[in-house]
Amino acid sequence: MRKILLLSIITTVLVACDEDKFLDITNQNELVAENFYTNITNFNNALNGVYSATKSLDLFGQAFYIQTLLALPHTSDYWNAQCRNEVTSGDGNMYIAWRGWYRVVSRANDLLENAPIYLENESPNEAQKAELAQIVGQAHFFRAFAYFHLVRLWGEAGYAEDSTRLAVPLHLKVPTTRDEMMKPRATVGQVYRQIVADFEMAESLLPTSWNDDNIARATSYAAKGFLGKVHLYMQDYATAKTYFEEVIGSSAFALVSFEEYDQMFQGKLEFGPETIFELNYGIDMQQNIWENGLGSGIALTLAPPGRGWSNCTPHGVNIFRFGDDPRLKICTYAPEDSAANVDGIMEPVGKSEFNYTGHSFRKYVPEDYSVYSTNRNSGINFIIMRLSDVYLMYAEVLNHTGNDVLASEYMNKVRRRAYSLDPETPEPTVDYTGLGGVQLQDSIREERFRELFAEGHRWYDITRWKIVEEEVTKYNDFRVTQGEIIYQDRDYYYPIPLQEVDNNANMTPSTGYE
């Protein structure tokens, strides 16, 4: 007992004498930046996290695409507040979008902060430096991509309209203190200038293409395409024109046939010649979408009766708006159209009870299998940018800069493909001819509606064109699930989430949502 007591006293004295060192013990197995960002493999792992966040259930994996991009412009008939123009600062779907995009920003920032530390501390060879540069380029690409969505959703004015209006907090580093987290909202101009800087950095660091093993990665052409798009939104038409011409003149992309146009949205033409950037999904029989599986949850929500939930359907106004345009068959299933049921048998999809005409969405909804048989997920890639989108944006720029003849030609290239014709050969029965000025502008806009329907562009288009009231009030006709749409000026932008206003003393509420 005396020996035990003596040992206890000695131990206590030693601990007391070296208390500072004793308390300074670190867990060597804990993953922190200092021991994670020490090799290129882990930088690639971090970059995978950025891609994964963009593809997540919160964003393009399901929620953001369906509850924001389809709902706000009334592409869909759905029962959420976005479809009724009744979004409040406490709206859960809106907060999911905020959370999702800032997760992308945070992961990109973490990688970007640690890249120069790695270069200084680890003395990488030239091959490692080159690989790191491409990783950094992709991080810049995704940070710009995230902020481009954020500023268009929460910015209270367009860049050319009033760049001093408030947008969103601009986080360019990972906060390490509470004070650093409490950022005020940056202006629309500040956010746009950062977006341009990030896309320009991506353009300078990324290759024009990747090998087959890395085909899903962003390229310099994707950065150029977005630089053109960002400058279009800023109404800097001369700069936008230059970037669009670099993409178009590269010969790296081409419009596919009408049959292949359909296949792009059925998972049968992944990374084809028309797509400039797409997000890669795969059927995952081990983990479903709620377990961070590799698949997309879009089809589960949109698929026709018996093939999925079928609770988000194309608005009746849109069905009639297509008229006899062939692209309606690409975008939607009519009740008499066939698709595989859960047993793999092709049969008519039937009438959706949530749609005025009974139609269901077809883009991103597989025809040859039901997601009920594939662990509730689909493997169809999500297309972020493709050549026909660039053609129509280029036509818009040309219209603004007075070259209506060439603007009409690029619009008509897209139309010809829709009618199974050679895009390069004029066809009087399909082409719009003799148009100019506002008449041509309106034709280009309507062509964007038909060509890019259900691809997530529409809300951003009608807000930058300043035609939200004119557009959304059309959708009081032929509705099924939503209440009457009442337009308010604040409908041009989302409110800052209530959680952010409550938790951040420096956060200014959105105008009209106080």
The residue range of the domain holding 298 is 289-380
* Helix spans in 126-187 (H): 126-154, 159-162, 178-181
Same domain as 300, residue 153: no
Could you tell me if residue 318 is inside a domain?
yes
Banded model confidence at residue 357, pLDDT cuts 50, 70, 90: very high
Could you tell me if residue 52 is inside a domain?
yes
Could you tell me if residue 360 is inside a domain?
yes
* Percentage with pLDDT > 90 across the chain: 89
Whether 434 has a pLDDT exceeding 50, the answer reads yes
Same domain as 61, residue 199: yes
**For residues 200-214, average pLDDT:** 98
Contact 312, 296 (CB under 8 A): no
Banded model confidence at residue 514, pLDDT cuts 50, 70, 90: confident
Domain boundary among 380, 404, 430: 380
Banded model confidence at residue 481, pLDDT cuts 50, 70, 90: confident
Q: What is the CATH number of the domain that holds 43?
A: 1.25.40.390
Could you tell me if residue 171 is inside a domain?
yes
Contact 111, 47 (CB under 8 A): yes
Banded model confidence at residue 215, pLDDT cuts 50, 70, 90: very high
Whether 413 has a pLDDT exceeding 50, the answer reads yes
Distance CA 445, CA 395 (A): 10
Whether 201 has a pLDDT exceeding 50, the answer reads yes
pLDDT at 6: 38
What residues pair up with 277 in beta bridges, in sequence order?
385
Contacts of residue 126, Cβ cutoff 8 Å, sequence gap at least 6: none
Does the CA dihedral 123-126-127-133 come out positive or negative?
Answer: positive
Distance CA 203, CA 225 (A): 10
Q: What is the value of pTM for the model shown?
A: 0.93
Same domain as 202, residue 85: yes
Strands (E), 292-337: 313-314, 332-333
**For residues 101-121, average pLDDT:** 98
Distance CA 105, CA 302 (A): 28
Same domain as 294, residue 202: no
Same domain as 161, residue 70: yes
Same domain as 315, residue 200: no
Whether 20 has a pLDDT exceeding 80, the answer reads no
Could you tell me if residue 469 is inside a domain?
no
Same domain as 294, residue 181: no
Banded model confidence at residue 34, pLDDT cuts 50, 70, 90: confident
pLDDT at 99: 98
Q: Which of 407, 292, 315, 424 is nearest to 361 (CA)?
A: 315
Whether 3 has a pLDDT exceeding 50, the answer reads no
Whether 23 has a pLDDT exceeding 70, the answer reads no
Tell me the two tokens of residue 393: 């944006």
Mean pLDDT of the chain: 93
Domain boundary among 380, 404, 434: 380
Could you tell me if residue 57 is inside a domain?
yes
Could you tell me if residue 194 is inside a domain?
yes
Banded model confidence at residue 296, pLDDT cuts 50, 70, 90: very high
**For residues 16-23, average pLDDT:** 41
Whether 31 has a pLDDT exceeding 80, the answer reads no
pLDDT at 135: 98
CB-based burial of residue 419 (10 Å sphere; 0-12 exposed, 13-18 middle, 19+ buried)? middle
**For residues 442-453, average pLDDT:** 98
Whether 370 has a pLDDT exceeding 70, the answer reads yes
What residues pair up with 382 in beta bridges, in sequence order?
279
Domain count, the chain: 2
Same domain as 307, residue 198: no
CB count in 10 Å sphere of residue 182:
14
Lowest mean pLDDT among 11-20, 187-196, 278-287: 11-20
Domain boundary among 343, 362, 380: 380
Q: Which of 275, 279, 280 is nearest to 386 (CA)?
A: 275
Complete DSSP assignment for 2-68: HHHHHHHHHHHHHHHHTHHHHHT---TTS--HHHHTTSHHHHHHHHHHHHHHHHSTTTTTTHHIIII
Render pLDDT for 41-82 as a digit per residue (tens, 0 to 9): 999 999 999 999 999 999 999 999 999 999 999 999 988 999
Banded model confidence at residue 27, pLDDT cuts 50, 70, 90: low
* Helix spans in 355-428 (H): 387-400, 404-418
Cα of 446 vs its chain's centroid, Å:
22
**For residues 356-384, average pLDDT:** 97
Could you tell me if residue 385 is inside a domain?
no
Same domain as 195, residue 73: yes
Contacts of residue 508, Cβ cutoff 8 Å, sequence gap at least 6: 166, 184, 185, 496
pLDDT at 292: 85
- Amino acid sitting at position 74: H
Same domain as 299, residue 189: no
Q: Which of 88, 98, 196 is nearest to 153 (CA)?
A: 98
